[in-house]
Amino acid sequence: MGNTTSEVASGVKAQINTGGQGPELYRFVDMTVANFGGGEFVEVMRVANRTKDYAQIDTLIKQQIPKFLYNGGEGKLITVSEIVRRRNNTYSKVKSIVSTIESDEEQLNGEEAKRVCWDLDQRGGVGEQILHICFLSSSPVHTALAKRLLRHYPKMIYDLYMGDEYYGENVLHIAIVNEEPATVKFLLDAGVDFTQRCCGKFFSPEDQKSSRVDNVTKECPDVSVATDYEGYCYFGEYPLSFAAVLQQEESVRLLIAKGADTNCQDSNGNTALHMCVIYNRIAMVDLLYELGASLDIKNRQGLTPLTLAATKAHKDMFDHILQKTRTIYWQYGNVTCAGYPLDDIDTIGKDGSLNDTSALSIIVRGESAGHLDMMDGLIVQLLNEKWRTFIKFKFFQRMGIFAFYFAICLLALIVRGYYRVPPACIKLVVVDKDSMKSIISDRSECRCHYTNFLWNGILLNDEDDENNQTILNTTMRMTPPTQHFEPIALVLNFLDVLTVLGAAMYLIVTIREFSYQHFKLDYFVYVNDPTRVLFLFSCLLTLAMVPARFTCAIETDDMICVYAILTRAPYFFFFCRGFRTTGPFVVMIYTMIRGDLLRFCLIFFVFMAGFSQALHVLFVRIACKNDFQTVIKTFFRMFCVTLQQIADAYRNFYLHPNTGIQVIGKICFVTYIITAAVLLVNMLIAMMGNTYAMVNERKKEWLRQWAKIMLIVEQSVSREERLAQQSNYSKKMPDGSRVLVTRLIQTSDERLSIENMGGDYYNQLRRHLEPENISMQSKTKSIAANSQHSASARENGPAKTKQGLPRDQHARDSIDSFDASALM
């Protein structure tokens, strides 16, 4: 009978137990009785099975069941809108929300309807009827009872679970879950609906259960597009998907033979192949593909089975589907030339746009270890081809331009360091009787000394409008006006102009790249390196220096310059990722900042906030000058303690006049040193050491960073250029698609598979090679080798018929005329 203790079945059984007085149908078949269940019908059926006399059970069915059925078992049509309204009120048991009309024509009224046999107001706790309970139990007695029920009232087979939790599940779903192919065949022969969708909440992905919204015009609820497809019993709604996920090969064949659509899509747009990918059922993928399932259908997230395998990081499944989609062009020994369609693999789409649902994009952006393991084979070959054809040149071109721009910025800063404010603009301010400090005069010609002294070498030192005794002029006499040239000021302004122009050019180029993405900020920011975002911010700061310079706001100009420098230099990390020697270390830095340092700062802030407030309270009432006078000063002083500046902070405790408070403060201080300065800092070092070891062990991590650089470079060019560059590493097919042609070493199983293809091998080549590649070069080495290999296979294999030989010979003659040099 199959597996009668299914996980799914057990969950449903638990839902049926309502506790106390339940619906009347439980009087006939009661699932609450241990093991085999109970009820009036079950007991009578047990006796009938032993005696082979079914008269009593038949009489009982005819007497008791009709009162639960519409139209004496013929059923009636009920609109989907009423079903949806009833489903929304499953647990409140609102009766007859929409009046039901006996006439089918009036009931339909142009609206979709379903045939219902068992009275909706006489259903069980979750919307089931007696037939569901019998098949759910799947014991011999219950199965025999179900067949007796169907013999008398065959239209009961159309009934579904009507409750929101299990809505849409019919007896066929239950039989498949119970792993009973014999029952599946019986139900199919009895006319069960094999297109019924099981879209109850119980069968939805976990992250979609809260997003379900009923629509009275549709049987199944609307769900959100975003999901990870993880669910305890998310099997794809259709019976065929159920059978494929649960690896019921015989049931799959029975359903397809009966006419089930292999490409039907559920609420998420997933076909049976998608479901096999989610549950990693490789054998079922082979079976469905053999029976006509398509690998090109996309779900609501735009994922084909191949790209879904990439999303779920199922490497074996991904490689397996790749083998099914490839086209073999020639074979020489164990070396094979094959073409892989790039539609679902490459980041460049047919129209030149970036395909963010491509396998390459998904694998590169994936953060799991499984995605990292997928960075090999065809993916690495594709990356190498991209790098070789155009990305390598553009990468080094960018690096050279940035290095040149950085050198200009660095030179400008060096010149700024050598440039001195004219002495006539320096004033000495008396701080106290023993010390003085220098400041720049507030006169406009002094505040604008960066621009005013290019050609004006004279400053008149006035008598100082404010005759304050604390201000002493550095020049006590008036210098006669003469023209004076200052070359260093000219060089400084010239270099600053180049810096601003360079920043403006970078921003213009970035805006152009942004336009290539149709201004989709989320994808643009995600793909870009964080240091590149910092660099763009530094360009904005560089432009902000222009108004500060011309408005003579020298303090603002200096502050902007500081932050522009700090955000400009890290951009070198972006280029370091492109080299195998430095790339892993950049990854370690990113990982430590994003993970270890962030966690440490959160914990450290809690300690800092607590101890800073405590020490500030101790010193808030004394008048002496100390480092704990304000919360902010206390916070920064305690931060310095973490950096081992302990002695300076410790002296503050001797400034307090109260000895007892000194002791309390010292205790708090020592406790802080032990917990924060010692324990937390060493914990940070240990975490970083663990991160270093982890990243260092992942040899493929650099490949992922290298690939991210390629995505960034690709998005910086136009669609036309992407298509032009794609044509350099791929081959165009007659249908407009492109394939990546690669050579690989074949396994013995793959060689045997090609040998068994015989003449079909040539037909495959003829279908996929372009007509424009036909030439007069016949009998090339690769085609000749394949012809010889196929002839050898025919000699060793079964003999062909006389009609088959000329057809194969004709195929070989046609293929011999192809120019295979393009594939070698």
Q: How far apart are CA 191 and CA 794, in angstroms?
A: 46
Cβ atoms within 10 Å of 801's Cβ, excluding its own:
7
SS3 (DSSP) at 737: coil
Q: How far apart are CA 93 and CA 76, in angstroms?
A: 21
Task: Say which residues have a Cβ less than 8 Å from residue 115's Cβ, sequence separation at least 6.
Answer: 75, 76, 77, 78, 155, 158
* pLDDT in the model for residue 177: 93
The DSSP annotation for 752-763 comes to HHHHTTTTHHHH
Beta pairing partners, 335: 332, 745
pLDDT > 70 in the chain, percent: 74
Q: Where do the H-state alpha helices sit in 291-352?
A: 305-311, 315-325
Whether the Cβ atoms of residue 306 and residue 345 lie closer than 8 Å to each other:
yes
Whether the Cβ atoms of residue 747 and residue 294 lie closer than 8 Å to each other:
no
Beta pairing partners, 738: 732
Q: 223 pLDDT exceeds 50?
A: yes
Q: What is the rounded radius of gyration, in angstroms, for the C-alpha atoms of the chain? A: 39
CB burial class (10 A; 0-12, 13-18, 19+) of residue 8? buried
Q: How far apart are CA 412 and CA 494, in angstroms?
A: 9
Q: 592 pLDDT exceeds 70?
A: yes
Residue 768, token pair as written in the block = 């996929």
Task: Say which residues have a Cβ less than 8 Å from residue 724's Cβ, sequence separation at least 6.
Answer: none
- Phi, psi values for residue 481, rounded to 5°: -70, 125
SS3 (DSSP) at 327: strand
Q: How far apart are CA 3 and CA 179, in angstroms?
A: 6
* pLDDT in the model for residue 432: 62
Q: How far apart are CA 587 and CA 783, in angstroms?
A: 47
Whether the Cβ atoms of residue 117 and residue 66 lie closer than 8 Å to each other:
no
Output the average pLDDT for the chain: 76
Name the residue with higher pLDDT: 194 or 614. Answer: 194
User: Tens digits of per-residue pLDDT, 772-816?
Assistant: 343 333 333 333 444 444 444 444 444 333 333 333 433 333 333
pLDDT category at 238 given cuts 50, 70, 90 is very high
Q: How far apart are CA 755 and CA 797, in angstroms?
A: 9
* pLDDT in the model for residue 755: 55
What angle in degrees, to the nearest 10, is found between the helix axes of 392-418 and 701-714?
90
Average pLDDT on 84-90 reads 76
Q: How far apart are CA 130 and CA 16, in angstroms?
A: 12
Name the residue with higher pLDDT: 435 or 536. Answer: 536
Element (H, E) at 472: strand 471-473
Q: How far apart are CA 813 and CA 168, in angstroms?
A: 56
Q: How far apart are CA 680 and CA 694, in angstroms?
A: 21
Residue 472, token pair as written in the block = 């002493």
Element (H, E) at 328: strand 327-332
- Phi, psi values for residue 354, rounded to 5°: -80, 130
* pLDDT in the model for residue 747: 58
* pLDDT in the model for residue 314: 92
* pLDDT in the model for residue 414: 86
* pLDDT in the model for residue 196: 92
Q: How far apart are CA 460 and CA 477, in angstroms?
A: 9
Beta pairing partners, 222: 213
Buried b vs exposed e over 461-470: b needs ≥16 C-beta within 10 Å?
beeeeeeeee
* pLDDT in the model for residue 373: 87
Tell me which CATH code domain 213-321 carries.
1.25.40.20
Q: 625 pLDDT exceeds 80?
A: no
Task: Say which residues have a Cβ less than 8 Å from residue 574's Cβ, sequence separation at least 6.
Answer: 529, 531, 532, 535, 709
| CA distances in angstroms from 531 to 521, 596, 704, listed in the order given | 17, 19, 17
DSSP state of 213: B
- Phi, psi values for residue 115, rounded to 5°: -85, 130
Residue 779, token pair as written in the block = 């009998």
Residue 552, token pair as written in the block = 């003579």
Distance of CA 29 to the CA centre of its chain: 47
Residue 46, token pair as written in the block = 């047990």
* pLDDT in the model for residue 662: 80
Cβ atoms within 10 Å of 565's Cβ, excluding its own:
15
Whether the Cβ atoms of residue 627 and residue 637 lie closer than 8 Å to each other:
yes
Whether the Cβ atoms of residue 22 and residue 124 lie closer than 8 Å to each other:
yes
Element (H, E) at 273: helix 272-278
State the virtual CA torsion across 426, 429, 431, 437 in degrees, nearest 10.
0
Average pLDDT on 557-563 reads 86
Beta pairing partners, 134: none
Q: 4 pLDDT exceeds 50?
A: no
Cβ atoms within 10 Å of 811's Cβ, excluding its own:
20
Residue 750, token pair as written in the block = 């793959």
Q: How far apart are CA 446 and CA 464, in angstroms?
A: 13
* pLDDT in the model for residue 185: 93
State the virtual CA torsion across 750, 751, 755, 760 in degrees, nearest 10.
50
* pLDDT in the model for residue 452: 56
Please state the pTM of the whole predicted model.
Answer: 0.74
Q: 731-735: long-range contacts (C-beta < 8 A, 24 or more apart)?
A: 731/339, 731/770, 731/822, 731/823, 732/770, 733/341, 733/768, 733/770, 734/768, 734/770, 734/771
Name the residue with higher pLDDT: 18 or 167. Answer: 167
Place of tokens 């259908």: 297
Task: Say which residues have a Cβ less than 8 Å from residue 371's Cβ, sequence separation at least 6.
Answer: 310, 313, 362, 363, 704
Whether the Cβ atoms of residue 236 and residue 275 lie closer than 8 Å to each other:
yes
User: Tens digits of per-residue pLDDT, 163-199?
Assistant: 888 999 999 999 999 999 999 999 999 999 999 999 8
Q: 244 pLDDT exceeds 90?
A: yes
Beta pairing partners, 471: 429
